[in-house]
Amino acid sequence: MIHGHDDIPFFDDDDEPRKPAPRSGETSGQTGGLAARAMAARRAPEAPDYLTGLNPEQRDAVETIEGPLLVLAGAGTGKTRVLTTRIAHILASGRAYPSQILAVTFTNKAAREMKERIGILVGGAVEGMPWLGTFHSIGVKLLRRHAELIGLRSDFTILDTDDVIRLIKQLIQAEGLDDKRWPARQFSSMIDGWKNKGLTPELIPEGDARAFANGKGRELYKAYQDRLKTLNACDFGDLLLHPIQLFRENPDILKEYHRRFRYILVDEYQDTNTAQYMWLRLLAQRPGEDDGPLNICCVGDDDQSIYGWRGAEVDNILRFEKDFRGAKVVRLERNYRSTAHILGAAGKLIEHNDGRLGKTLFTERAEPDDDKVQVHAAWDSEEEARAIGEEIEQLQRRGELLNDMAILVRASFQMREFEDRFVTLGLNYRVIGGPRFYERLEIRDAMAFFRLTCQPADDLALERIINTPKRGLGDASVRKIHDYARARDIPMLAAAREMIDTDELKPKPRKALFDVVTQFTRWQELLETTPHTELAEIILEESGYTEMWQNDRSAEAPGRLENLKELIRSMDGFESMRGFLEHVSLVMDADQNEEMDAVSIMTLHSAKGLEFKTVFLPGWEEGLFPHQRALDESGRAGLEEERRLAYVGLTRAKRNCHIWFVSNRRIHGLWQSTMPSRFLDELPEDHVEVGETEVSYGGYGQSRFDRAAPFSNTYATPGWKRAQENRTDATRDNWGTRSGHAVERIGYGESGPRGRMIEGELVARSSEETASRFSVGDRVFHLKFGNGNIAAIEGNKLTIDFDKAGQKRVLDGFVTPA
């Protein structure tokens, strides 16, 4: 059953054959519980080490090796363990060589972790697993092998979003279009969306094509793809699309891979987008007998699908059984992470979603002392941060580690408040998922120098740094070089070299260009002879780039220099500069210092897959969570995804979970009153406790979390703002001709929570707002800031000089005449 080297002549990375390990005993039919586990152990005494300690479902998932298998792995049910053990099992039982297993993950982190854990299981004997990686890195590997078949050279560059946007902008301008009206950023994300759906320019829907650039969307997309080919470059989407095209157009090559990949494993299947799905289908389809059986195992959790907004299709996982005939489904519902209260709360919440495959997590843990999920209220976000800070300090005093605590927010702007507070308190914190190391300006600049040295055809790199540091080669000069290069169909660096001998440029830029071209020529020569770290230093030094930052007096400059040093240090581990560049384009990871004991602050999205003993979930308010924009843009589906996000948040907690909501939040500089999240009402009472709060402001209303809100609620959405602005514009003619935005809203009706709508249904909200009741100079009272005088009015926004708090801008709904 194992193909030897001869079968697959064009692969050069086959591992040496391994001695097949004895096959494990068969297990079947356990009915759960410890007894079953014990029975299983007794029945198969010869079971290899790695299988012991798995529960019956896990073991089923590991040992169901043949045929399609979907593992529905709830949060904290040992998903990674199953995946890695399964691979170990395939290897140890001699069913395949490491190189015959295709294992795909979404992030580099997950891939790394999996490699590590397989290493531990199999005793480190397995070198590599050459086909374990992200969809993208495997895509690159395929493309480098077969580049010429899709019109690239195998040393193609991978562009990052920055490059892509600059490139698109050029194309938009080249089309003679207004790049204001048609932002490159927007088009770039459209292309991204298409590529996520597996759509090449010919395939995009007519409507999409018309929606951009005066109907030139399709042409523009095509032009973009052409330009990439010319540049010998790929964007991230291409790393998925090109392999699909490759396989479709070259059945023989596809067949080779069919033979090669005996086993396919996919992690986080609920996050696959259409292109990834197509990619997988191509590899998993086995039309011929000699292609071998279809051994695909997808692991995922439909309840944790939170990336719909970037193209993930939950439907892929929901459809699995239909897609793969005879598929077996194993549910992992036994949770090893959280208390029964946390699971109870999370489970009840997620039940409000439709279209689930249906799982109910349970635990065998029975600790009567476990705390319920706590819900707390605060007046505003400042107080929320203060209270959470206090709670954290208290836990710390009790000897808890900060490393065991996390604050999970919906949107990153919420982090600021916590950071500020923790700085004041002197509390260590760590922000996870901020701007990545390789995305920083100075790193990108440095990389552009390196790229252009290694790849003289990398025009985008050239454009980035040709005038950095300032050399007097501004837009005009760059444009000339660009046009010259385009006209002759040569790379810009080559064009620049030629232009030194012409009088296209004025003497000053010409001299500058001569200098910089000469430098690159020199560095290219050094590439062969000088160690790459040394060369990197030389480049940064000679280009004047280091000097530029040394002369920079701004606060960030020293940090940037430090980052540059760090960049060079990190090159050490690579063979060559080229190897380093490849790594960077795909593995954009920054390292966090793990040693420090610190509270983690991150978004709910980046918390997926992590766990903490104590979790704080601030900001459970309508509009923020669920996020208004998710509701506006995706309606019910958006709401359900938000709910899954809440589910992810809750299930990160092992022991304690504290949810917070506030009644006033400042968004974009304006104070807004907020309503408690509908998700709070969806939590079951028996697992939730409403925490006592120092600052109470009236009792709870109909909803347990509802205070008697003295203010009309306001919304922060662009649409709502616009409506309000229109309103003020139209006050003169008394609403009559308000040029109409129909304000549609999900959730509460005009009478507040009492008039709650059916979830997710779009409902027109009647707008009964009156014109501002105030005029400049009025004396008013604000609950947070106290008394003050109105200094200015713009629409419904009041600028008020408060007696104590100074000048603030607030919405008029917040103040009452004093």
Which residues carry a binding-site annotation for ATP? 73-80
Whether residue 652 lies in the annotated active site: yes
Q: Residues interacting with DNA, by CB under 7 A?
A: 106-109, 134-137, 161, 169, 179-180, 236, 239, 309-310, 410-413, 433, 436, 467, 470, 472-477, 509, 586, 588-589, 602-603, 605-606, 627, 629-630, 633, 668-669, 718, 809
Tell me how many degrees the CA angle 382-384-389 measures, rounded to the nearest 5: 95
**Nearest alpha carbon to residue 4 among 284, 252, 250, 262:** 262
CA 21 to chain centre: 40
From 266, 270, 264, select the one nearest 359 (Cα to Cα). Answer: 270
Report how far residue 559's alpha carbon sits from residue 443's, in angstroms, rounded to the nearest whole number. 11
Instruction: Please enumerate in sequence order all residues whose Cβ is within 8 A of that of 177, keeping only pairs 6 or more positions apart, or say none.
Output: 213, 214, 216
Nearest approach, Cβ of residue 608 and DNA (Å): 9
CB of 183 to DNA, least distance (A): 7
Supply 3's token pair.
Answer: 């193909």
- CA dist list (Å): 763 to 104, 114, 163, 756, 758: 42, 47, 42, 10, 9
Nearer to DNA, 74 or 509 (CB): 509
Question: Which of residues 180 and 325 has its CB atom nearest to DNA in the complex?
Answer: 180
Compute the least distance from the CB of residue 488 to DNA, in Å.
Answer: 22
Instruction: Tell me the closest approach of the beta carbon of residue 670 to DNA, in angstroms.
Output: 8
Question: 245 — phi, psi (to 5°)?
Answer: -60, -45
CB 238 within 8 A of CB 195: yes
Tokens encoding 690: 């409403």
Nearest to 348 by CA among 3, 574, 679: 679
Residue 598's closest CA among 388, 414, 396?
396
Q: Which is nearer to DNA, 217 or 619 (CB)?
A: 619
Smallest gap from Cβ 310 to DNA, in A, equals: 5
What are the Cα distances from residue 373, in Å, to 281, 496, 689, 805?
42, 65, 6, 36
- Return the number of other C-beta atoms located less than 10 Å from residue 228's C-beta: 20
> Given the complex with DNA, which of 626 and 676 has the nearer CB atom?
626
SS3 readout for 580-646: HHHHHHHCCCCCCCCCCCCEEEEEHHHHCCCCEEEEEECCCECEECCEHHHHHHHHHHHHHHHHHHH
Sequence-ordered alpha helix ranges (H) in 307-372: 314-318, 320-323, 340-350
Nearer to DNA, 239 or 461 (CB): 239
Dihedral pair phi/psi, residue 608, rounded to 5°:
-55, 135
Nearest to DNA of 106, 212 (CB atom): 106
Provide, rounded to whole angstroms, the least separation between the CB of residue 237 and DNA: 7
**15, 27, 63, 79: which one is catalytic?**
79
Binding site, annotated residues: 73-80
CB of 349 vs DNA, minimal distance in Å = 18
CA proximity to 357, closest of 55, 70, 31 = 70
Query: Residue 524 or residue 799: which is nearer to DNA going by CB?
Result: 799
Smallest distance from DNA to CB 248, Å: 21
> Which residue out of 218, 372, 652, 665 is catalytically annotated?
652
Catalytic residue list contains 304? yes
Q: How far is CA 409 from CA 600, 602, 659, in A?
A: 11, 6, 10
Copy the structure tokens of residue 254: 């596809």
**Rounded Cα–Cα distance for residues 643 and 682 (Å):** 10
Distance of alpha carbon 271 from alpha carbon 251, whole angstroms: 27
Angle of helix 532-542 versus helix 507-529 axis, rounded to 10:
170
CB of 405 to DNA, least distance (A): 18
Q: Tell me how far, at minimum, the Cβ of 526 lies from DNA, in Å.
A: 27
Q: Which of 304, 374, 546, 672 is catalytic?
A: 304
> Which of the 8 DSSP states describes residue 17?
P
Catalytic residue among 15, 57, 160, 268: 268
In sequence order, the 6+-apart residues with CB closer than 8 A to the CB of 77 are 58, 332, 333, 334, 335, 336, 361
Q: What separation, in Å, do the N-terminal and C-terminal C-alpha atoms of the chain show?
A: 85
80 noted as active-site residue: yes
529 assigned to active site: no
Give the residue with the Cβ less far from DNA, 180 or 397: 180
Which of 493, 488, 499 lies closest to 457 in space, CA to CA? 493
Please list the active-site residues: 79-80, 267-268, 304, 652
